[in-house]
Structure 1
Amino acid sequence: MTHSPAAQTAEEAGVPRHPRAFEPVTLVVTVLLSVLGAVIGLVLITTLGIAPNTSVIGALIAMLVGRVSFAALRRMRDPNRQNLVQSAVSGSTFAAANSLVTPIAVPFLLGRTDLVWPMLGGAVIGLAVDSWVLYRVFDSRLLPATAAWPAGIAAAETIRAGDEGGRKAKLLGVSALVGFVGGLFKVPTSAAGVAFLGNIWALLMFGVGLLVAQYAPVLLHVDLSAHYVPHGVMIGAGLVALVQALLMMRNRGGRKTAEAVEGPATEGAAPGGEPENARPAHFAPEVRTVDAARLRRGLLEGLVLFVAGALVIALMGGVLSGMGGAGLVGWVLLAGVAALVHQLIVGLAAMHSGWFPAFAVTLIFLILGLVLAIPMVPLALLVGYAASTGPAFADVGFDFKAGWLLRRGGVPWHPYEVAGRRQQYLAQLVGFAVAVLVVAVAWKPFFADGHVPPVAKVYVDTIKTGLTDGHALAVMGLWAIPGALVQLLGGSSRQMGVLLATGLLVATPQAGWLVLAALAVRVLWRRHARRKAAGAAAEQAATEAADNDLALVGAGLVAGSSLSDVSQIVRTF
């Protein structure tokens, strides 16, 4: 792939060269570990129904590879190379487990094995567009790099601790051990880890949702999910979140210019349509690398590409024969919009909480399809296409966040950050390609042995059964009102409504208590750190130091929990 003129000018002007994703050693390590990640994701999603976060695991393996004394592998000691490998490994895991094998299991379980390959082709399109849109809009007002992206912080802190050693490595190691042991005993320690890393208000609502979902059946004798209450809350919050996203696409003031932060801008026009004065020489988190114009273009490109992908699936899957011309047009438009909405809601939830309710949001579109009386086969393809988007979108965001944190020392920062993000995207594409090959080869023996993602069974059972409760739509409409109000009151920066619905839908036992306890520790630790500080500057420094310590603890808990998830692969054989 050729470099843009702007990138060539930057390199000639002395911009430090970011490691390349296609360097021979990096590429070989990337491919080998991506195969491992894809296999792990495929085995765990089809046996235990989970897709572990392999971002930190990929980072740990990349660090171990870098410690090998063999001359060529010493290059892997570079944290930015480790970030490239980590990005590809997590990408291959989520792509294989969530974006590829789950969608193709839907037509398989319906007995339509002839539609598996068309669905796989559609899922590949969904995966490709999913990652492309995130690459285009990451670090915009809608999806800023300064947001939580908890798994990204965990991966970056893991790489840093391995590179620097000392106190950071010890704190990370102890926290990882706690997370690993907790995972072995089915304690959701990753929930506590995320609470140390994410947005406090968003996670507060997430914890509340988890507790309500856990205790409503016991105290109120009501199964909220069976009555579609969480789905209604998500519909209301999701609609408001989409309106908020549309408002962010407008060109408005409020962003500091680089001249106000750093003085004169660096030479040359910024890639992606940013104004020239948005290119600071040093790291400036308040200056975004993606402006409103590029955000608008990225989302519109995504919508067009999703609609085109839906048309391809419709033609390959024979939707026209079952619906007619007008039905085909309506199906294609609905599938394209569903794919875009699905990725945005899942991405926003993941950005703030580290959890993404992909299954539940897909189920919402399934229910909508039942209400619209879409025939079985077109509905199955619609569900599979929507399910292929979202997880990769969130995962790429996590990895870009990790890279953004690791590249803060680059000077000049802006072109180095843009170049590094591009290399991460290329590394992700390698991981995705590996995942496609692994799934294409492995799906037949896996499905033949009865290893099918549990969520796909839920989709198919719902499609076959239909809406037995005639009041489901009315209930969802009723509960959409409080979901919309909470989202509106919290604003776009907190996504409180979306996170409340996420907690209600995820419903992991005991996770709510851990989230709230970790938030309480976070607040108390900050106050303790500021108590001895004299002056505003000292208080700010003390708060940052406290947040750094908590980020290490959170990263360790997430890493340990992820290792525990992956260790369960041994139990499947």
Structure 2
Amino acid sequence: MKDDDTRIKFDSEEELIDYYCSKPHPKAFTPSIVIVMLLCSLVGGIIGMELIVKFGLSTNSSIIGALIAVIVGMLPMKFARKFRNIHTQNLVETAISCATFGAGNVLMVCVSIIWVFNKPEMCTGILIGGVIAFVVDITMMYWLFDTPLMGADEAWPIGIATAETILAAAEMGKKAKLLIGGIAGGIIGTWLGLPMDIIGVCGLGNIFALTAFCIGLIMNGYWPTWFGYSLGDYYVPQGVMVGAGMVGLIQAIILIVRKYKGRSKTETPKEELKTADSTFIEPEESELTVEQENELLGEKDEKTGHIYTRTTKQMTQTFVRGIILYIIGAVIMALIGGIAAEMSEGMLVVWVIYAMAAALISEILVGISAMHSGYFPAMATVIIFLVFGIFIGFPPHALAFLAGYTACTGPAFADMGYDLKAGWILRGRGRHVKFELEGRRQQYYAELFGAAVAVVLVFIFYRSYFLAGRIPPVASVYKATIDAGVNGTVLRQILLFAIVGAVLQLISGLKRQIGILFAAGLLITNPIAGVAGLIFLTFRYFIEKKFGDEGRKNLNVVSAGLIAGAALFSFCTNTFKLVSTNSKKG
């Protein structure tokens, strides 16, 4: 390894990671890092708002943020040197990613739902409640990451793609060539109209869950052609998600109960961890807080051997905290927004409890889908809770607030999961426990920074967007659902197909998540992606069977490149569309 002021060369990825993990972790609020995070977050937040109102979608900007940090690190200036550090780059991508999703998918969608009801005076209330849900959502992922429910060793495909991009830029070896080839393939394939992001995800995620996801995509997309009617006409996707989601929730509860019952057997002392897993590194005791000591008493997954840094007790405490925080947020939203006056005291209590449950369950369902497939059916989960809210009898404005509150949980939760996964890989996949905990904390600060930028941007600009008629299309979908209402026939159809989802999820278990991922596929219209995904999964199976672990590692890098290429192409082309459209208006 050669180390000088301008360039560091490494002989292997492990050497690179160990080198940067031997240094103090960069602080998110270092002035130079704050400046770069601020500029990136402003750009990401603005693009997120523009995309959500113009195209009804947002884009993953993690890789963009990482590349910006890499480019800054190449500048021949003293302040730029710290941006050669892979962990500094990780902080920058974390901030811009949160700002993009937070401003677009979360807050603009939230406030637009009540705007389309012609109630601008209620916007401040729903936005304040949305901000609370947004921040709680981020915090929940910070607390839940690397628990038995949200393991760091799970797929989190976008996180892998981001980490591989950062490592390849730093290493510039064989991996860099594979990644560059993958990026080129992702760009060319996306330009030709192929779903390169989904193809890339199929090289990284759980093969069983992704197969179910692809089958769902194919069925939903081609069903009208095959049979002359849509599955959505009979609420099949919603029903399957309800059943799979409820069973998945029960499975998570059973997991917690089992862990508690066998706690004396499953909780591993630190001395045993050092002998059972060579990746465990004993930090200096004098530097540890009580919280860190508890975090280091990990629990080992009997099947994979992965040692979690969050215990079952901490996972349970997180859910309790989440229930309390989401209740507080719902109460504040109801009081400030004015919907409390539209309901009786009893109905208000029911609404608050239901809003809390919808927010919590939605983020878990979205998080699980994102963890395994890289995609999350956020809009679909909101509609499911809206349908049941209509049956309960909530008034229209209360339903709009419910939709806004629920919409604020899930996207940021999943996005932070991706960012933490990227950080976990860059920090040595758990080899440096104390460094991992500190890095995770700094990422949380960076995520909050990006969230703050998103909040400020939306509060300043949402009225000018909406007064100009630039409203996220999904708001009209939610309003149409509320205005249409539902009847007993719809409820029966949902419950009937909920049985299908429940059975699939029950058979697959909590780890494979076949039921939830099949439902996620049914909720998305992209059959070509399903076909391409199945083809690539077959290719992956034979590659791994013939070349073993080495083939799997190389395929992971190429797959990460495909995702990165698709993200770069989409980001750049969408940004170009925005600029060209605005210039024509001017």
Q: Would you call these one fold, judging by a TM-score over 0.5?
A: yes
Structure 2: distance between partners of 1:96 and 1:517: 36
Deviation at 1:273, TM superposition (A): 6.4
The 8 Å contact of residues 273 and 294 in structure 1, kept in 2 or not, is answered as no
CA offsets per residue over residues 431-483 of structure 1, 9 Å max, x none? 0000111111121221122221111110011112222x541110010000010
Correspondence 1:218-233 to 2 at 5 A: 218-233=225-240
Structure 2: distance between partners of 1:272 and 1:374: 44
Correspondence 1:166-245 to 2 at 5 A: 166-245=173-252
Which residue of structure 1 lines up, in the alignment, with residue 440 of structure 2?
Answer: 421
Structure 1: distance between partners of 2:152 and 2:26: 21
Match of 1:492 among 505, 510, 513: 510
Which residue of structure 2 lines up, in the alignment, with residue 399 of structure 1?
Answer: 419
The 8 Å contact of residues 228 and 476 in structure 1, kept in 2 or not, is answered as yes
Which residue of structure 2 lines up, in the alignment, with residue 161 of structure 1?
Answer: 168
The 8 Å contact of residues 232 and 478 in structure 1, kept in 2 or not, is answered as yes
The answer for unaligned runs of 5 or more in structure 1 is 1-13, 531-542
Deviation at 1:28, TM superposition (A): 0.7
Structure 1: distance between partners of 2:211 and 2:296: 39
CA offsets per residue over residues 281-323 of structure 1, 9 Å max, x none? xxx9711100000000011101110011000011011222211
Which residue of structure 2 lines up, in the alignment, with residue 309 of structure 1?
Answer: 329
Which residue of structure 2 lines up, in the alignment, with residue 133 of structure 1?
Answer: 140
Structure 1: distance between partners of 2:438 and 2:153: 18
The 8 Å contact of residues 273 and 291 in structure 1, kept in 2 or not, is answered as no
Is it true that 1:571 corresponds to 2:582 in the alignment? Answer: no
Match of 2:501 among 480, 483, 488: 483
The 8 Å contact of residues 342 and 386 in structure 1, kept in 2 or not, is answered as yes
Q: How high is the TM-score relative to the length of structure 2?
A: 0.89
The 8 Å contact of residues 16 and 410 in structure 1, kept in 2 or not, is answered as no
Which residue of structure 1 lines up, in the alignment, with residue 450 of structure 2?
Answer: 431
Is it true that 1:260 corresponds to 2:279 in the alignment? Answer: no
The 8 Å contact of residues 145 and 417 in structure 2, kept in 1 or not, is answered as yes
Structure 2: distance between partners of 1:92 and 1:141: 28
Structure 2: distance between partners of 1:379 and 1:511: 33
- Count of equivalent residues: 542
Which stretch shows the higher mean deviation, 247-256 or 120-129?
A: 247-256
CA distance change for structure 1 residues 255 and 217 in 2, over 3 Å: closer, same or farther? farther
Structure 2: distance between partners of 1:275 and 1:448: 49
CA distance change for structure 1 residues 237 and 57 in 2, over 3 Å: closer, same or farther? same
Is it true that 1:519 corresponds to 2:537 in the alignment? Answer: yes
- Partner of 2:344: helix, strand, or coil? helix
Which residue of structure 2 lines up, in the alignment, with residue 9 of structure 1?
Answer: none
The 8 Å contact of residues 28 and 34 in structure 2, kept in 1 or not, is answered as yes
Which residue of structure 2 lines up, in the alignment, with residue 6 of structure 1?
Answer: none
The answer for unaligned runs of 5 or more in structure 2 is 1-20, 276-280, 582-586
Structure 1: distance between partners of 2:332 and 2:560: 41
CA offsets per residue over residues 226-260 of structure 1, 9 Å max, x none? 22100000000000111111122232454665433
Structure 2: distance between partners of 1:37 and 1:402: 19
The 8 Å contact of residues 51 and 93 in structure 1, kept in 2 or not, is answered as yes
Is it true that 1:274 corresponds to 2:294 in the alignment? Answer: yes
CA distance change for structure 1 residues 255 and 16 in 2, over 3 Å: closer, same or farther? farther
Structure 2: distance between partners of 1:426 and 1:185: 39
Is it true that 1:324 corresponds to 2:317 in the alignment? Answer: no
Match of 2:370 among 328, 331, 350: 350
- Partner of 1:510: helix, strand, or coil? helix
Structure 2: distance between partners of 1:464 and 1:476: 19
CA offsets per residue over residues 262-293 of structure 1, 9 Å max, x none? 2495453663563655499xxx9711100000
Match of 1:546 among 544, 551, 569: 551
Is it true that 1:148 corresponds to 2:168 in the alignment? Answer: no
Structure 2: distance between partners of 1:266 and 1:76: 26
Which residue of structure 2 lines up, in the alignment, with residue 4 of structure 1?
Answer: none
CA distance change for structure 1 residues 394 and 103 in 2, over 3 Å: closer, same or farther? same
Structure 2: distance between partners of 1:65 and 1:552: 24
The 8 Å contact of residues 133 and 408 in structure 2, kept in 1 or not, is answered as yes
Structure 2: distance between partners of 1:221 and 1:470: 24
Structure 1: distance between partners of 2:326 and 2:177: 46
Correspondence 1:451-470 to 2 at 5 A: 451-467=470-486, 470=488
CA distance change for structure 1 residues 378 and 161 in 2, over 3 Å: closer, same or farther? same
Structure 2: distance between partners of 1:218 and 1:409: 46
- Partner of 1:480: helix, strand, or coil? helix
Structure 2: distance between partners of 1:425 and 1:418: 11
Is it true that 1:123 corresponds to 2:123 in the alignment? Answer: no
Structure 2: distance between partners of 1:260 and 1:370: 53
CA distance change for structure 1 residues 430 and 275 in 2, over 3 Å: closer, same or farther? closer
Which residue of structure 2 lines up, in the alignment, with residue 50 of structure 1?
Answer: 57
Match of 2:560 among 555, 558, 570: 555
- Partner of 1:477: helix, strand, or coil? helix
Deviation at 1:409, TM superposition (A): 7.5
The 8 Å contact of residues 137 and 409 in structure 2, kept in 1 or not, is answered as yes
The 8 Å contact of residues 272 and 290 in structure 1, kept in 2 or not, is answered as no
CA distance change for structure 1 residues 320 and 570 in 2, over 3 Å: closer, same or farther? same
- Partner of 1:222: helix, strand, or coil? coil
Match of 2:310 among 287, 290, 297: 290
Match of 1:446 among 462, 465, 487: 465
CA distance change for structure 1 residues 223 and 85 in 2, over 3 Å: closer, same or farther? same
The 8 Å contact of residues 124 and 337 in structure 2, kept in 1 or not, is answered as no
Which residue of structure 1 lines up, in the alignment, with residue 17 of structure 2?
Answer: none
- Partner of 2:154: helix, strand, or coil? coil
Which residue of structure 2 lines up, in the alignment, with residue 390 of structure 1?
Answer: 410
The 8 Å contact of residues 258 and 277 in structure 1, kept in 2 or not, is answered as yes
Is it true that 1:86 corresponds to 2:93 in the alignment? Answer: yes
The 8 Å contact of residues 62 and 96 in structure 2, kept in 1 or not, is answered as yes
CA distance change for structure 1 residues 17 and 163 in 2, over 3 Å: closer, same or farther? same
Deviation at 1:565, TM superposition (A): 1.8
CA distance change for structure 1 residues 217 and 388 in 2, over 3 Å: closer, same or farther? same
CA offsets per residue over residues 63-112 of structure 1, 9 Å max, x none? 11111111101210100000000111111111111110001000101100
CA distance change for structure 1 residues 481 and 138 in 2, over 3 Å: closer, same or farther? same
Which residue of structure 1 lines up, in the alignment, with residue 113 of structure 2?
Answer: 106
Which residue of structure 2 lines up, in the alignment, with residue 73 of structure 1?
Answer: 80
The 8 Å contact of residues 272 and 294 in structure 1, kept in 2 or not, is answered as no
Deviation at 1:167, TM superposition (A): 2.2
The 8 Å contact of residues 157 and 372 in structure 2, kept in 1 or not, is answered as yes
Structure 1: distance between partners of 2:453 and 2:447: 10
Matched AA of 2:508: G
The 8 Å contact of residues 241 and 492 in structure 1, kept in 2 or not, is answered as yes
CA offsets per residue over residues 205-243 of structure 1, 9 Å max, x none? 001101111111110112111221000000000001111
Deviation at 1:186, TM superposition (A): 3.2
Which stretch shows the higher mean deviation, 343-352 or 222-231?
A: 222-231
Which residue of structure 1 lines up, in the alignment, with residue 393 of structure 2?
Answer: 373
- Partner of 1:96: helix, strand, or coil? helix
The 8 Å contact of residues 258 and 279 in structure 1, kept in 2 or not, is answered as no
- Partner of 1:379: helix, strand, or coil? helix
The 8 Å contact of residues 57 and 105 in structure 2, kept in 1 or not, is answered as no
The 8 Å contact of residues 258 and 287 in structure 1, kept in 2 or not, is answered as no
CA distance change for structure 1 residues 265 and 73 in 2, over 3 Å: closer, same or farther? closer
Structure 1: distance between partners of 2:189 and 2:22: 45
Matched AA of 2:472: P
